[in-house]
Every structure is written in C-alpha cells, then in structure tokens.
Structure 1
Amino acid sequence: MPEMTRAANPRVPNPKVWVTRELPAAVMDRMEQLFHTSIHRGPAALTRDELAAAMAECDVLVPTVTDEIDADLIAGAGPALKLIANFGAGVNHIDLKAARARGIIVTNTPGVLTEDTADMTMALILSVPRRLAEGEKLVRSGEWKGWTPGGMLGHRIGGKALGILGMGRIGQAVARRARAFGLTIHYHNRHRLPKVVEAELQAQWHPNLDEMLSAIDILTIHTPRNPDSEGLIDAGRIALLRPHVYVINTSRGGIVDEAALIAALEGGRLAGAGLDVWQHEPQIDPRLLALPNVVMTPHMGSATFEGRLATGEKVITNIRMWADGHRPPDQVLEGWA
C-alpha cells in the first residue's frame, strides 16, 4: 500500500529556491544552508519581468503578498517550478486555479500571525473611539494647554456591540480580547460556529450580513480577500451602519469600497475608522490622510519579530517536506477561501 503522506512529486535534492523579498536574517541564513537559494535583496518588490525571470529558472518560488502571481506569469514559468511556498497566510495574490492546472503546489503559513493581528485589531478598536492618534499629534504639536473637563473626549467601548465579519482564527482571537473589554460579540460567517465555541465567546451569529451591520457599534473585518469578498462592504452596506459606528480593517483593503467609506466619513455618516490595509496599497487616498477621525497604520498587523520568524520556519518546513517527496503540511487545497 503506498505511503499516504507522499505526494506525486519525486524527491528534489537541493532545490533551487527563489525568494522575492528580504526575510528575517535568520530565515534567509537557514534557507541558504538548506537549499540552493537566490534572494532578492533591497526594499523594493521585484518587477513583473524580474518575477517572470525568477519563475523561469527555479524549482521553488517564495513570494510575499506584494507579488501578484497571475495566470500569465504561471503559464510562462519554467518546467522545474513545482512549488510556490508563500511567505504569509493569504494567497489571494496567487492564481490558484492556474497553479493547479500547471501541477504547481501552493503552500501558505496559517496560524502563526493570528495573535499578532488580533492584537493590532484590538489596538485600533481602542485607538479610534478614544482618539489616541489625535491626542498624540496634539501633544507633539506643542499646542496642548493642559487638562480640561471637555478636552479630547472620546467614547468608551465597554458595553458596545462589536460585529466581526469573518470568524476564523483571527476573528475568534479578536472576540476573546474584545470580551475582556466588555464588548458584546456579534459575527457573520459563511458557516455558523459550533455551539461550544459560540458559548465560549458568548457570540451571536447573524446569518444575514446586512442585519448584523444595522445592529452593531463597531465593525471589524477578518475575511480573506477573494471574488466573493471583493467590495463586500460597498456603499449600500456602509449606509446600513449607523452614524456612531467605527470601521476597523486589518484584513485586506479591497474588501471595503474605499471611496464609499471616505464619503461616509466626510459626510458624518460614520464616526471613524481604523485602517491597516488599503484598496490600492501602498497608495493611500489623500482624503483619508486629511481625516482626523481615521487611525492609519502601514500594514503592520502581523509585524512582529516572533511572527516573521515563525512564518519563515513554516516556509522552510513546507519546502523541505516537498523536496523529500512528501505532501507539504500547509498545502492550499481546492476551495480555499
């Protein structure tokens, strides 16, 4: 009987690995010890032509979220490319259907960034209603004249209703934190959580997204970006949110219609927003920059030393398992979302 852990690929001793961005030094050093590794060093992402050239000559590509690997690039890849070992959990930047058609395995790094992203989400949930960014800027400006009873008033979050869009690992980690701050938990998910998990989180499922949006005080987004979620929070759904609501997004920028969000913020139809991701990243609409009730961070939700090292370790494990002829533990399967 064949060994069930083995994939169809043969062993590939010393695979040629192309890494598209500088990773933590310890990760890059380990990759260079284990594999025949080429690394694109420097702050900028590879150009499309450079990415195509790398894919033409390697056995394994290690991309990041900044690399858009579409069907045309995959079609032009060299015959040796059999593994795309993504550095990160999200794979919406990779055409999975085209990869499968070429017999290319795609892996990701789930789980390692859950707690870091949940921490950042909770920081934004606190920062926007309490006006922390505005207060920090006021102190730095030298214009703060001291404490007054009416100075820098914000809103408490205890007792408010938090709506979580996407109740996977990160959504559940946010819910656990939010409960400790006295928020009530509402969620919309494609599938309802087991009752034991709902009980643990004291979370109420809303099968209808629109109904949830009209009932909450804070919305936080934790769904992957895919064809179903692209533009999910559009002008119509933003209009369902009441004027005192805050919108938090640490997931992917394209899930929210940014123009509609800006219009609502400028028109006083939303209280504020906390954004770590952008629709046209790294470009940021200057209208957002001008809004004092928007806290903005540079896609740093998962940016911890510990998280980056753990991500790199998962990438290395996936490559080693594949090179030994086994199925990688984090292979992205059909129907991933």
Structure 2
Amino acid sequence: MTKPYVYITRKLDETTLTPLKEVAHIDMWTSEDEPCPREELEKQAAQADGLLTMLSDQVDEALLSNAPNLKVVANLAVGYDNIDLKAAKKHGITVCHTPDVLTESTADLAFALLMASARRIVEASDWIKDGNWTGWGPLLLAGADVHHKTLGIVGMGSIGTALAKRAKGFDMNVLYHNRSRKPKAEAQLGVTYAAFDELLTQSDFIVCLTPLTPETKEMFNKKAFEQMKNTAYFINVSRGQTVDEDALYDAVTTGKIAGAGLDVFSREPVSPDHPLTTLPNVTVLPHIGSASVETRKNMMHLCAENIALVLQDQQAKTPVQA
C-alpha cells in the first residue's frame, strides 16, 4: 500500500519528523529561511495528503480547492491567520497549530524585548561597536526603569499570563485587556482588568499579544498612541498587522511615546531602510518570539504528530478550534 504524501514548506530538523516518517512519504522545500514559492506550494498541494506550513504560506481557497487529496494542514505556529479556516472546513481539511509548547519561550522573548527597549541595550551595544564610546557620563545612554512600573498586556492568553508572572518578579503593577475577563489570573497573579483606553493611559509599558482578527487589525493606531504616556514604550510580539506602522513611526519620532520594541511587522521580512528600523529608540527583531532550539524542535515534532494522527484517521492533538 502506497504511503500518503506530505509536503513541508521549509527545511526542518529531520529528527523531529520521526512520527511522520513512519506513516508517510515526506518531501521538504530546500531552504530553511527562504519561503517556498507560491507556484511550488500549489504544485505540491495538488498531490499532497498533508501539508506542514509556516505563517508565511497563504493557505487559501484557491490552494485548497485544487488539493483533492489533502486531509490536514499543520501550521508551525500558535497563530493561523494565514489559513482560510472556512475554506478548510468546506473541503473537510483538519487544521492544526502549536499552542502551549511555545508559551514560555515567547513570554521570555517578550520580556527581554521590553527590557532591551527600556534600557537601550541594542543601542548601547551598537554605540561601542561603532566606536562612539569615548568615556563614561552620568546620563550616557540612560534608559527607563522597569521595576515598580505599570505593565499593560493586551491579549491575556497563555503567553500574556506567562508574561505577567515574569513582570511580578520585577514588582510591576500589571493591567490587562482581553475580550473576556480572566478571574483565575486576577486571583493568582494579582493582575487587574482594564478597558483598552484605560490601559493605554495608565501603562508605562504596553505589550501586544493579541491574535490578529478583524477587530484587532491596526488597533494600535494614531488615536491609541496619542492616549499613551510620552514616557511609555510599546512592545509587539503578536502580529505586525495589529499596528498602524505609520502612526507608530509618527508617535516615536514626535515624542508621543518614548520608544518601541518590535518582533513583528506588517510585511515580513523588512528591509534595513524600513522607517521603523532606522530609529535608535526602536528595537527590532526578525520574528523570533518562539525561537529557542528546544521550543522550535518541539513545535516541529507536534506538527509531525498531528499530521500522522490525522492521516491514520485519528484525532489530532492540537486542532484549531474554529
């Protein structure tokens, strides 16, 4: 009996794919950091029983309607805004993602980005590397304290909760805004629910962790930045499209806010001359929220398990609950 065929849109660690190799024939795109071209993805999807995709792969109606054998799509991410869930349901295709396994690593990165932005870590490192350090000064590259400040978390899911735990270790006052209240987190962590406008006006650091939806698209816009303190920092570790980048650039360059830390952009990858990457008080990262070796390998393994289970007519471990 011929094994089902699974196509993987990036070059992944072979050791993480063992569960899948046992039940399917697999093939992978040749590059680890260059996305699979759309034409190649369409060609492979047309004959595949399963796809292991990245956030950069658009899995839409046009792709799915020409994939007659496709049973499962496993996304190497907790998010899945690159996948048309209605189209997948229409064609009877199971969609899976990788929640939970990346929670702690992403929270680590979010807090690290907050710290780096507040204390001007990257800017200070570049200061030395560019040969500018000629002596010590009392306010040389002085940044902002993090301890005892107010942190506003927008999107209080598992990553937001993990971030709040880290903030409490720095004696921060934590506000959160979410589409639903989190009584358990309020009781266990001492965090406080706040309306979005209230969170904006009271927070010293605002971290965006909300999923991308029609409601959250560009929720951080000109009006939002104008409500923030001029000493506040904006941190985004969710999706770039939650931010109006022109409004953010204006807010940073005119002093409406003190600075920003960005792990994500509206369009990725960004070039070195993107307006936000040119600003010394904006710390930028190449979408590495969950990028520890251990976590990324766990994500790959979970994707492989999900596909293998579905191809054997079993329930996936982490299907998207749409």
Q: TM-score range by the shorter chain?
A: over 0.9
1:74 equivalent in alignment to 2:57: no
Deviations 1:41-62 (A, max 9, x none): 1242111111111110000011
* Moved segments of 4+, more than 4 Å: none
Map 1:1-337; keep pairs closer than 5 Å.
14-28=3-17, 31-42=20-31, 43-77=33-67, 79-194=68-183, 196-206=184-194, 208-284=195-271, 286-334=274-322
1:123 deviation in Å? 0.6
> CA RMSD of the aligned region, Å?
1.6
Number of residues of Structure 1 aligned to a counterpart in Structure 2:
320
Instruction: Give the alignment's TM-score, normalised by structure 1.
Output: 0.91
1:245 deviation in Å? 0.7
1:33 deviation in Å? 4.5
Structure 2 Cα separation of the partners of residues 24 and 221 of structure 1: 30
Instruction: Give the alignment's TM-score, normalised by structure 2.
Output: 0.95
Q: Is the 8 A contact 2:80 2:97 kept in 1?
A: yes
Amino acid at match of 1:273: A
Q: Secondary structure in 2 aligned to 1:128?
A: helix
Q: Is the 8 A contact 1:18 1:58 kept in 2?
A: yes
Amino acid at match of 2:292: T
Q: Is the 8 A contact 1:13 1:323 kept in 2?
A: no
**Structure 1 regions of 5+ residues with no counterpart?**
1-11
Q: Is the 8 A contact 1:231 1:256 kept in 2?
A: yes
Structure 2 Cα separation of the partners of residues 322 and 232 of structure 1: 36
Of 86-95 and 285-294, deviating more is 285-294
Q: Is the 8 A contact 1:125 1:248 kept in 2?
A: yes
Q: Is the 8 A contact 1:24 1:308 kept in 2?
A: no
Deviations 1:207-232 (A, max 9, x none): x2112111111100111112221111
1:117 deviation in Å? 0.7
1:243 deviation in Å? 0.8
1:34 deviation in Å? 3.9
1:30 deviation in Å? 5.7
Structure 2 Cα separation of the partners of residues 34 and 226 of structure 1: 35
Q: Is the 8 A contact 2:20 2:307 kept in 1?
A: no
Q: Secondary structure in 2 aligned to 1:57?
A: coil
Q: Is the 8 A contact 1:82 1:103 kept in 2?
A: yes
